[in-house]
Amino acid sequence: MQLTKTEEQLMQLLWKLEKAFMKDLLDLFPDPKPAATTVATLLKRMTDKGFVGYKEYGKSREYFPAVKKSDYFSKQMNGMIKNFFNNSASQFASFFTQESNMTSAELEELKKIIDSEIKKKQQ
């Protein structure tokens, strides 16, 4: 399951705060801020999708992420590689390195990361 762009924006705030009441989330939105009812609807949908959980304190709810940011990002990246790059990580890497205008220093850093991962997999 996937988040809409607006849900993802709200989820980013929740990942940042780790836990928050709706008022806390509203305060972090840039102006013009969405209506409280809009945020409540988004939180309900995200809860129904399994991305957000909450703890009740009387009539108030403290929300928290039910999915780790790294897990969500990994799933999104894998989906993108599958859908846009024929499920080929090397095609993705080729596109990424050619189209992202990386400096030679950034490419060297990326090479070090890849070399390190190769060593780990060979052990």
pLDDT of 1 > 80? The answer is: no
Which CATH topology does 5-65 take? Answer: Arc Repressor Mutant, subunit A (1.10.10)
Predicted pLDDT of residue 65 = 97
Q: Is the CB of residue 45 less than 8 Å from the CB of residue 77? A: no
pLDDT of residue 28: 92
User: Residue 116: CA atoms inside 13 Å, Cβ hemisphere, count?
Assistant: 6
Do 84 and 35 touch, CB atoms closer than 8 A?
A: no
Q: What is the number of residues in the chain?
A: 123
* Phi, psi of 56, rounded to the nearest 5 degrees: -90, 140
| pTM for the model | 0.75
pLDDT digits (tens, 9 = 90+) for 86-110: 988 888 888 888 888 888 999 899 8
pLDDT in tens, 36-89: 999 999 999 999 999 999 999 999 999 999 999 999 998 888 888 888 889 888
Q: What is the pLDDT of residue 96?
A: 83
Per-residue CA distances from 16 to 20, 42, 43, 48 (Å)? 10, 17, 16, 21
What pLDDT sits at residue 102?
86
